[in-house]
C-alpha cells in the first residue's frame, strides 16, 4: 500500500441522510505492514451567522471539530484525530475526493 491513503465517500455513501450534528466518521478499510487505507466521511457542514464590527459573516463548522483561527483571516473548520503509526514509519499520505453532496445547515 505504501503509506496512508484517504478516500472520500462515493455519491451513494454521501447521499445517506445523517442525524443533525453527526460528526465525521473514519472507517479503516485495510491495514497491513505496508500501510493503512481509510475512508473519511464528512456528513455535513454547519453554518451560523456571526456579527462582528457591524458586519455579518458566515461561520462554517464541523460537528465535533474545531476552528483554525488566525487574526484577520477567515476561520477554517478543522477535524483532528490521532492516527498511531509504528516506530520508524516512513511514507506519505494521498487523498482523493468524490463529488461533494450539498448537505449544509
pTM of the predicted model over 0.75: no
| Residue 71 covered by a domain | yes
Any domain includes 101: no
With a CB cutoff of 8 Å and minimum separation 6, the contacts of 35 are 1, 2, 3, 4, 5, 91
Segment 2-43, tens digit of pLDDT: 444 444 444 444 445 667 788 898 888 888 877 778 888 888
Residue range of the domain that includes 74: 3-96
Domain-located, residue 104: no
CA pseudo-torsion sign 101, 76, 62, 4:
positive
SS3 9: coil
Count of the separate structural domains present in the chain: 1
Computed over every residue of the chain, the mean pLDDT equals 77
Residue 44 pLDDT greater than 90, yes or no: no
Residue found under cell 453554518: 47
Residue 75, classed as helix, strand or coil, is: coil
Closest CA to 66 of 9, 7, 23, 17: 23
Whether 37 is in a domain gets the answer yes
What count of other Cβ atoms lies within 10 Å of the Cβ of residue 48? 10
Amino acid at each position: 500500500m505504501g503509506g496512508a491513503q484517504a478516500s472520500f465517500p462515493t455519491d451513494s455513501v454521501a447521499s445517506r441522510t445523517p442525524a443533525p450534528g453527526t460528526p465525521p466518521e473514519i472507517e479503516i478499510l485495510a491495514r497491513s505492514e505496508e500501510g493503512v487505507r481509510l475512508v473519511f466521511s464528512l456528513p455535513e457542514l454547519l453554518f451560523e451567522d456571526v456579527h462582528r464590527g457591524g458586519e455579518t459573516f458566515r461561520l462554517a463548522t464541523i460537528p465535533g471539530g474545531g476552528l483554525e483561527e488566525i487574526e484577520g483571516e477567515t476561520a477554517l473548520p478543522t477535524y483532528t484525530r490521532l492516527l498511531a503509526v509504528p516506530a520508524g514509519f516512513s511514507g506519505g499520505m494521498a487523498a482523493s475526493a468524490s463529488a461533494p453532496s450539498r448537505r449544509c445547515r
